[in-house]
Amino acid sequence: MPGPMPEVWKVDVAVEVGRFDAHLARLTADEAARAARFHRDEDRERFVVGRSTRRLLLARRLGVDAGTLAFVEGRHGKPALRPGAHPRLPHFNSSHSGRWVLHVVADVEVGVDVERVRPDFARIDDFLWVLSPEERRLVLSAPEPCRAAALATVWVRKEAYVKALGEGLSRSLPDIGIVSGSHGEPALAYDRSPGGTGRRWRFADLEIDDLHKACVVHEGAARRIVVREFAH
Ligand SMILES: CC(C)(COP(=O)(O)OP(=O)(O)OC[C@H]1O[C@@H](n2cnc3c(N)ncnc32)[C@H](O)[C@@H]1OP(=O)(O)O)[C@@H](O)C(=O)NCCC(=O)NCCS
């Protein structure tokens, strides 16, 4: 019996920055020090709102006070809740781009990525090195005005997958082939690394807005994904 469905939380940084001090107060001393080192206000705001809302959402899910949560990082930096304090810890992952922070919370391993469709994505040759042959074909078959969006779509699927694995960009990206499945949904065709074999991954493209592409990847049986707007 599958557990609760993966929840994706969409946080609008432009709104939450109105509560900046309250968000900052929720960070650890280390996180606050890291926030202070950002040169650009928008990067600092995204980081502070991201860490604070992640803490709030996980605390809500566990029914505990946000201040009681402690985090650890995997070998390539993937954050997780520190084991021990609660019997069944949720998995989660986060991504930010532009005004959006996305958090996904699930009872299985997950990864999420959101990316603004940058105009330079249309210069497809600069990005071909990250794509598998199948993904190149998919991007190059898009009509030219849609190429940047097609590349962003392929990119967020791939990055969400390597984030689900916890390996991030330490992975050789062309060794991973993500194609369209039988119903048009993205699916993992192959992963030539031993880390990716023997596990079943499900992909879901997410609707964010006209300027961004996003994807969530989770392990195990297919589930319906719910996308919720973060609110206090
Ligand atoms: C994880 C990674 C793909 C993020 O890329 P990005 O597009 O810049 O950032 P995103 O906004 O999508 O995601 C950032 C979030 O991912 C999470 N994250 C960090 N490392 C992660 C990893 N290895 N796997 C999954 N999630 C990770 C963090 O929550 C981070 O946000 P936070 O610092 O505010 O908490 C990238 O930083 C990476 O590959 N890191 C691993 C380190 C590494 O091996 N680097 C090799 C560089 S060539």
Quote the tokens at residue 201: 């991954």
pLDDT one-digit tens code per residue, 65-96: 999 999 999 999 999 999 876 778 999 999 99
pLDDT of residue 181: 74
Give me the pLDDT at residue 76, please.
Answer: 95
Classify domain 7-229 by CATH number: 3.90.470.20
From ligand 1's centre to the CA of 143, what distance in Å? 31
pLDDT at 136: 92
Give me 146's structure tokens.
Answer: 């849609």
Domain ranges of the chain: 7-229
Q: Is the pLDDT of residue 1 over 60?
A: no
In tens, the pLDDT along 150-192 reads: 999 999 999 999 999 999 888 889 999 999 877 778 999 999 8
Tokens 């206000």 found at: 41
How far is the centre of ligand 1, averaged over its atoms, from the C-alpha of 224 (Å)?
25
78 lines ligand 1 (CB under 6 A): yes
- What was the pLDDT predicted at 51? 98
For ligand 1, atom 33: residue with the closest CA = 47
d(CA 121, CA 109): 29
Collapsing DSSP states into helix, strand and coil, what is residue 34?
helix
* pLDDT of amino acid 85: 67
Q: Are the C-beta atoms of residues 104 and 93 closer than 8 Å to each other?
A: yes
Q: What is the pLDDT of residues 95-129, one digit of tens each?
A: 999 999 999 999 999 999 999 998 887 777 888 88
| Pairing, β 71-73 against β 7-12 | unpaired
Residue closest via CA to ligand 1's atom 27 equals 78
- DSSP SS3 for 87: coil
**DSSP labels for 101-145?**
EEEEEESS-EEEEEEE--GGGG-GGGGGGGS-HHHHHHHHTS-GG
User: Distance from the CA of 215 to the center of ligand 1, in angstroms?
Assistant: 15
Beta bridge partners of 177: 190
